[in-house]
């Protein structure tokens, strides 16, 4: 049985981690920043050295292809993303991209020319940390968003995605949407504690839970904090507290799989001695059942209206993004399962708690994901860490799952 080069994969992960490295040991490669460009350039150079042809689409998605014996056959797609959170880790996303390159390098080392092409992809702006919504590069590719909408997204400084893509030199001339794929695989750290707690090496991912993002905007009236008695204030922060308590209680009402997160609160104008005129709150609601997400959505809308019916403040709930629950293709999931068994690795079946580009790619191609543990379940964190032996094991599973999907080798 062939294996990937654990040392080569790890070395490349560490080399990429040096691009945008932070003092605390993490990385900051925000989408379409100068550091993102450096990471992209490094990846493209490695792919060219491996004999891959390179294409870049109008969203800056990078495709690197090993032609195969039948270059016109729909390829197997492997990939993830290179962008990071502002205080991100060394493995989130980039592991899945460089593992795809390692699969191609291993086949080349073994002088195996696959029957069909294998293509690596690095999707633009998966994180959504700079430009919301998340997963917009893969979303445009499959038709969830149009190109004009994507280009018009702005960061906190008002810079647009389209202009920043042009600035770093990764704005291609057209999209490659409509292309067929034989299968698609994404390898990723789990980003949670389950595999580590259960002492399993491989997560066989059968799907991704649904995600809804909202902005809850509570409006009051700015006034001086000193002279204005509490009973005369229209204070959006004070009035939002009972609603937030109710929103968090929805995790219990719809538990145990429901998740509620408040990730961002912005009181405006943000002055110590002024009662805010507006409070903006981000909400992230997740569940693997679409009907439950619909019920939570109805509860949120009803509560937003009822909680402010007799208050001096007003509130609106704006849905920013909805990614429905996804079930992965049984044949691809089985390929991962069989590869794991063949390699003698411990494993468990699981759902992804985080959103991934595979949620969109599953709309156009048979898709599956592979997870490996991360220390203490930490991700989106500079302390994010995956053990070298787990990194290698996950890539071995990816390699053999891909080989199982190649017609001449099945």
Residue positions counted in the chain: 410
CATH code, domain with 268: 3.30.70.360
Which residues, 6 or more positions from 322, have their beta carbon under 8 angstroms from its beta carbon? 210, 211, 212, 213
What pLDDT is recorded for position 355? Answer: 84
- Paired tokens of 215: 């902005």
**CA-to-CA separations, 280 to 154, 241, 264, 286, in angstroms, rounded:** 17, 13, 8, 20
E-strand stretches of 82-172: 118-123
Rg (CA), the chain: 23
What pLDDT is recorded for position 307? Answer: 94
- Residue 253's domain comprises 210-323
Q: What is the mean pLDDT of residues 107-116?
A: 96
The reply to whether 228 and 205 lie within a common domain is no
The reply to whether 374 and 287 lie within a common domain is no
Contact 24, 406 (CB under 8 A): no
CA distance 269 to 106: 56
pLDDT in tens, 47-74: 999 999 999 999 999 999 999 999 999 9
1, part of any domain: no
Of 323, 356, 388, the domain-final residue = 323
The reply to whether 174 and 185 lie within a common domain is yes
CA distance 9 to 386: 13
Mean pLDDT taken over the chain: 96
What pLDDT is recorded for position 326? Answer: 94
The reply to whether 253 and 308 lie within a common domain is yes
21, part of any domain: yes
DSSP 8-state code for residue 27: B
190, part of any domain: yes
The reply to whether 227 and 180 lie within a common domain is no
What pLDDT is recorded for position 196? Answer: 98
Contact 396, 105 (CB under 8 A): no
The reply to whether 122 and 234 lie within a common domain is no
CATH code, domain with 196: 3.40.630.10
The reply to whether 83 and 200 lie within a common domain is yes
Beta pairing, strands 210-219 & 326-327: unpaired
The reply to whether 224 and 314 lie within a common domain is yes
What pLDDT is recorded for position 81? Answer: 98
Would the pLDDT of 408 be above 90?
A: no
Residue with tokens 């569940």, as numbered in its chain: 287
What's the structural domain count of the chain?
Answer: 2
Name 266's bridge partners: 280
What pLDDT is recorded for position 410? Answer: 45
92, part of any domain: yes
391, part of any domain: yes
Of 276, 293, 323, the domain-final residue = 323
pTM, two decimals, is 0.85
The reply to whether 29 and 104 lie within a common domain is yes
311, part of any domain: yes
Contact 168, 32 (CB under 8 A): yes
Residue with tokens 């750290």, as numbered in its chain: 189
The reply to whether 183 and 227 lie within a common domain is no
The reply to whether 244 and 194 lie within a common domain is no
Would the pLDDT of 345 be above 50?
A: yes
DSSP 8-state code for residue 327: E
Of 296, 323, 350, the domain-final residue = 323
The reply to whether 332 and 308 lie within a common domain is no
Contact 122, 29 (CB under 8 A): no
pLDDT in tens, 303-326: 999 999 999 999 999 998 898 899
Percent with pLDDT over 90 in the chain: 95
From the number of C-beta atoms within 10 Å of its C-beta (0-12, 13-18, 19+), residue 141 rates as buried
Residues of the chain by 3-state class (helix, strand, coil), percent to 5: 35, 25, 40
């Amino acid at each position: 049985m062939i294996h990937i080069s654990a040392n080569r994969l790890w070395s490349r992960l560490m080399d990429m981690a040096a691009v945008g490295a932070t003092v605390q040991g993490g990385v900051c490669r925000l989408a379409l920043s100068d550091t993102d460009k450096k990471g992209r350039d490094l990846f493209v150079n490695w792919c060219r050295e491996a004999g891959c042809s390179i294409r870049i689409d109008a969203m800056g998605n990078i495709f690197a292809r090993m032609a195969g014996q039948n270059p016109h056959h729909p390829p197997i797609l492997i990939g993830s993303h290179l962008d990071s959170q502002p205080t991100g880790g060394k493995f989130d996303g980039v592991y899945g991209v460089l593992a795809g390159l390692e699969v191609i390098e291993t086949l080349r080392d073994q002088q195996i020319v696959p029957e069909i092409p294998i293509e690596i992809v690095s999707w633009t702006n998966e994180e959504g940390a700079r430009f919301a919504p998340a997963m917009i590069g893969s979303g445009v590719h499959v038709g969830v968003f149009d190109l004009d909408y994507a280009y018009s997204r702005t960061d906190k400084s008002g810079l647009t995605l389209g202009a920043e893509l042009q600035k770093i030199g990764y704005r291609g001339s057209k999209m490659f949407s409509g292309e067929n794929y034989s299968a698609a695989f994404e390898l990723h750290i789990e980003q949670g504690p389950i595999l580590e707690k259960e002492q399993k090496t491989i997560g066989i991912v059968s799907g991704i839970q649904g995600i809804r993002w909202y902005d809850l905007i509570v409006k009051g009236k700015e006034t001086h904090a000193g002279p204005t008695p509490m009973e005369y204030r229209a204070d959006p922060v004070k009035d939002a507290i009972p609603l937030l308590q109710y929103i968090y209680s929805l995790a219990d009402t719809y538990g145990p799989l429901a998740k509620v997160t408040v990730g961002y609160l912005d009181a405006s104008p943000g002055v110590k001695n002024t009662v805010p005129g507006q409070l903006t709150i981000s909400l992230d609601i997740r569940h693997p059942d679409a009907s439950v997400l619909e019920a939570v959505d109805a509860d949120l809308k009803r509560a937003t209206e009822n909680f402010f019916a007799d208050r001096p403040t007003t509130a609106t709930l704006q849905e920013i993004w909805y990614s429905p629950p996804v079930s992965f293709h049984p044949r691809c999931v089985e390929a991962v399962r069989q590869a794991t068994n063949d390699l003698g690795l411990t494993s468990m079946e699981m759902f992804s708690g985080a959103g991934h580009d595979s949620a969109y790619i599953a709309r156009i191609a048979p898709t599956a994901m592979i997870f490996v543990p991360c220390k203490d379940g930490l991700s989106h964190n500079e302390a994010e860490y995956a053990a070298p032996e787990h990194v290698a094991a996950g890539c071995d599973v990816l390699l053999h799952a891909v080989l199982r999907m190649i017609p001449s080798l099945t």
